[in-house]
Amino acid sequence: MLNPSTLLDLVRNFIVFEKSKKEDAKTGITQIETVKKLAAYHQYYAVNRAVQSSIIASGADGDKRGGVVWHTQGSGKSLSMVFYSGKLITAPEMQNPTILVITDRNDLDDQLFDTFSNSKQLLRQEPVQAKDREHLKELLKVASGGIVFATIQKFLPEDQKSVYEQLSDRET
């Protein structure tokens, strides 16, 4: 960890500050507490490998398949996604990518959106949550960049004959 390049990488890309409300049971006073969170070793290595895989896969000779990171329950998947997004956004090879986070449940969409929103300092931008299919299309038609949240249901066709227009011809 104290290798200079590893230490700098940790400080730049793997620390977030989360605010949480804490109520004193005796007095009933609620305080807002700021907690510094540093990536665990498995998050650090998984994120760095995933970023490299994404850069290679999205390159001119890449196969457009970035891979999968498997995590167990309670391993910090949400923060791994934040660290991955933050590092990918600053990768010069990616040229300001648009990151689309798709979930299958509204409660998970809200939870991840809150986690990303609390990590704006690391992400260097404000994430946006798609309200419906038309709003999602609008959010994805940007020239570059952005972090967009949506549920898979927003991609389902309204009928079997639906044809979707191409939203973007960007590479990343």
Residues 109-145 have pLDDT tens digits of 999 999 999 999 999 999 999 998 889 989 988 888 8
- Stretch 96-102: mean pLDDT: 92
Q: Tell me, yes or no, whether 25 lies in a domain.
A: yes
Range of the domain at 58: 4-155
The domain total for the chain is 1
Q: Is 99 among the domain residues?
A: yes
Q: Do the domain assignments include residue 92?
A: yes
Helices 41-58 and 4-13, packing angle to 10 deg: 80
Instruction: Say if 75 falls within a structural domain.
Output: yes
* Residue 111 located in a structural domain: yes
Q: Does a structural domain hold residue 167?
A: no
CATH of residue 22's domain is 3.40.50
Q: CA–CA separation, 94 vs 52, rounded Å?
A: 11
